[in-house]
Amino acid sequence: MPTGYFITLEGGEGAGKTTLLTHLARKLETLGHPTLTTREPGGTPLGNILRQLLLESDRLAPTTELLLYAADRAEHVSQTIQPALNGGKIVLCDRYTDSTVAYQGYGRQLDLDLIQQLNQIATCGLAPHLTFWLDLPVETGLKRAGDRAKNMGQSLDRLEQTPLDFHHRLHHGFRQLAEQNGDRIARLDATQPPDCLATAAWVLLTTRWPELAQTAQSRSTPAQP
């Protein structure tokens, strides 16, 4: 029986997921909670190869793209996420199944039922206990991603160069998902500065699981989400 906590972060391009994930992991580790940070695509050695293919190829057919994300996820769940949860860890994952629904479903307009089935196969039914949706206006996220690329002397990746209406569709997709899964998905106003966003997420996390606000040593019983 898994005893860990599975938390995912979701949102459009440049929403601030990686920044928030780093804040949360630092805080949890300071309190002594065993924590694993990971991401999709790219949470395993195979996933890193798939990530390169997905982010650097400029003409993948939408179905090919969908299947590559599913392959990345199947490997990630079986090799990384499920073992960590079985070991009682807190898993913080940058993107998961909601990204496929938003990007390939709403963005690329592939069949939503097919995507749900594929997600089910790839995850063996493993759903996050809690998902933070970083809600940010599309233009702000793309500007952040663009500024960061410019500062690092890099070009934007394939999806960040996709037309604006694609990004609006996927933003709508995340909103739909949040409305349909209110018990799992917590919306965060991602226009806030990083520290405020981290505080808001921490309050939500520790309201749901008060034991995580204590040091791991002071917890008398194993984690039970």
Binding site residues, ligand T5A, CB under 6 A? 11, 13-19, 40-41, 55, 69, 94-95, 99-100, 103-104, 144-145, 148, 159, 190, 192-194, 197
- Residue 33 or 95 having the CB closest to ligand T5A: 95
CB of 215 to ligand T5A, least distance (A): 27
CB of 86 closer than 8 Å to CB of 223: no
Q: Which is nearer to ligand T5A, 147 or 179 (CB)?
A: 147
Of the two residues 32 and 194, which places its CB atom closer to ligand T5A in the complex? 194
- What gap in Å lies between CA 157 and CA 154, rounded to an integer? 9
* 87 vs 150 by CB, closer to ligand T5A: 150
Query: Smallest distance from the beta carbon of 60 to ligand T5A, in angstroms?
Result: 10
DSSP string for residues in 3-38: -SEEEEEEESTTSSHHHHHHHHHHHHHHTT--EEEE
Residue with smaller CB distance to ligand T5A, 185 or 190: 190
Work out how close the CB of 104 gets to ligand T5A at its nearest, in angstroms, rounded to a whole number: 6
In the complex, least distance from residue 213 CB atom to ligand T5A, rounded to whole angstroms: 22
Minimum Å gap between C-beta 219 and ligand T5A is 30
